[in-house]
Amino acid sequence: MQMGVCPQGTLPYYHCIDVIHLAMHSEDILWPDLTGPEHLEFYGRLKGLSGDVLKQQIDYWLEQVNLHSRKTRAKLSREYSGGMRRRLSVAIALMGEPSVVLLDEPTTYKLLVCNSTLQHS
């Protein structure tokens, strides 16, 4: 079992718990010289993914967070807007189908759940 990390803030990487903690901080720790797919490949490998499964997860999550266009896939993360960086962080957290994802300030991530739905629940 594994726990991975969303590259927002400074969270540790543990090998014993199948939980991803997604912390929403104003600053991120995405590497400025890597593309979105390169980030997903790096974190996917940390989570034990490889080969076709890794490639499928990268393609799937880039599409889910709307970072899948050829132009966007080629962009370095330093060229991403704040929203694009947050969406990439969400994709990283969800790679490998974790059992649990803990969200801090989930309304920041409107792609996950619409604000009005949260407010009326």
Q: H/E/C letters for each residue in 36-88?
A: HHHHHHHHHHHCCCCHHHHHHHHHHHHHHCCCCCHHHHHCEHHHCCHHHHHHH
**Range 4-120: architecture per CATH:** 3-Layer(aba) Sandwich (3.40)
Domain boundaries, the chain: 4-120
Return the pLDDT at 49: 93
Q: What is the mean pLDDT of residues 75-104?
A: 86
Q: What is the mean pLDDT of residues 55-62?
A: 96
pTM for this predicted structure = 0.70
Question: What confidence tens digit (pLDDT) does each residue in 2-57 have?
Answer: 444 455 444 444 433 444 444 444 456 789 999 999 999 999 998 899 999 999 99
Is residue 108's pLDDT more than 80? no
Q: What is the mean pLDDT of residues 78-99?
A: 88
